[in-house]
Amino acid sequence: MNPARFTRVDATTWRLEPHGAMQVPAVIYADEGLLRAMDDKVGEQLANVASLPGIVDAAYALPDAHWGYGFPIGGVAAFDATAAGVISAGGVGFDISCGVRTMLTDLGSEEIEPLKESLADALLATVPAGLGGKGGIRLDETELDAMLLGGAVWAVARGWGEPEDLIRIEEGGRMAGAEPAAVSAAAKRRQRAEMGTLGSGNHYLEVQAVAEILDPATAEGFGLERGRIVVTIHCGSRGLGHQIGTDYLREMALAAEPAGIALPDRELACARIASELGQRYLGAMRAGINCALANREIIGQLARQVFTRLFGSGGRLRLLFDVSHNTCKLERHRCADGVERELHVHRKGATRALGPGDPSLPEALRPWGQPVLIGGSMGTGSWVLAGCERGRAFASAVHGAGRSLSRHQALRQWNGRQIVDELASHGILVRSHSLRGVAEEAPGAYKDVDAVVAAAEAAGLARRVARLRPVICIKG
């Protein structure tokens, strides 16, 4: 992207003033190198988001931004909760509540080394993964609706998790306001056998080692210690979330013009928050959030079973945090005019990043701020960040490295066997049911995650705590 299109505010803030149909400015947080590497489409999509009714303050793109469906991925936008505001299914995304959970162990890197191959094989055999992957859990209609209402709370009650997990999951593990009746039969049908499954694409389960500590006090508060092993899970609401997105984007696109909403892009289909359609989507989306929370809770329990089997009580997994990055949530924020308002905050490929002292955080984490869990690539590593006291972009931060090449471009440059062998030579074991999927997720297809998180810290979005090195990666 050409930086000349934007006014440079500081080293990591770029601003496009409202013009045409834009209601508010478009703001990108990135250093110049990351901005230049972004597709021009990011700027176009951000300007379109800034044109939607009821948007507040600005439309934001974060350092990992790349173009997506309607909204850029790595985008944040908040809308007035009154009748003026809208909610957009494209602003949430198809993988509703896709997110990251990190679990702590007391194991050192050297303790897992003798069993590394066995651990990798056992995780692949125990955690179902892959496109259309099915798990061992089958839900009838009653249980499926109970899951959509209960989220991780439902999973724990059925023995697929531990009660102490819930305090360290967004919303206490259950998103209020879910409406299973607003979820189509087709969406429910897709999910009946997919609970406890990773899926495909960029989803993964990784065994990682804490490679570097940048903020010792916060790392200690989070329970992170250099050389210790952690387990990170990245996945979402599977087929159910995708079907909810498909269903409502179609309905919103048809309803926009009769509702007096001029769409700058059909992919930005939206509905007034106060409308029947808007409220119905909110209920369905919240059910999708609960599906993702339950899914990650189950996968976490499956990983616990493997670690306990191989390492005994020393392999116990404790939850650090579980946070989503494809959501729309009703939150209170102080706006640019100094007035605190209730807003519907869309985060698409963006992570909530609450600062120290926030009362919604668990007491043990409150002094340090919310853990912000950042996925990199299976060859480069991941990060744990923490929310800043005065967060920007409605207390939001990056969610990952962000793609620099499409999946098709990656397939033209790499093959799966090549990637697996190369990573193995660096001590990283990859297990997958699809070598094509491995090639699509080649480390070279992603931006430099270290540069992304450094820019996020420089912009005041979140602060760096620890860098994680991949040891085992399980992919679909």
Give ∠ CA 452-457-459 in degrees, rounded to 5.
Answer: 95
Q: Rounded to whole angstroms, how far apart are CA atoms 220 and 53?
A: 44
Tokens of 475: 């992919």
19 is catalytic: no
328 conformational bin, left if phi > 0, alpha if psi -120 to 50, beta if neither? beta
Q: Rounded to whole angstroms, how far apart are CA atoms 427 and 387?
A: 32
Residue identified by tokens 């340090």 is 368
Smallest CA-to-CA distance from 30 within 447, 464, 373, 467 is with: 447
- Whether 67 contacts 46, CB under 8 Å: no
**Total residue count of the chain as it appears in this document:** 476
Cα distance from N-terminal residue to C-terminal residue, the chain: 32
- Whether 245 contacts 89, CB under 8 Å: yes
Q: What are phi and psi of 458, to 5 degrees?
A: -60, -30
Which one of 399, 408, 426, 433 is the catalytic residue?
399
Partners of 239 in beta bridges: none
Q: Rounded to whole angstroms, how far apart are CA atoms 124 and 138?
A: 20
Question: Catalytic positions, please?
Answer: 399
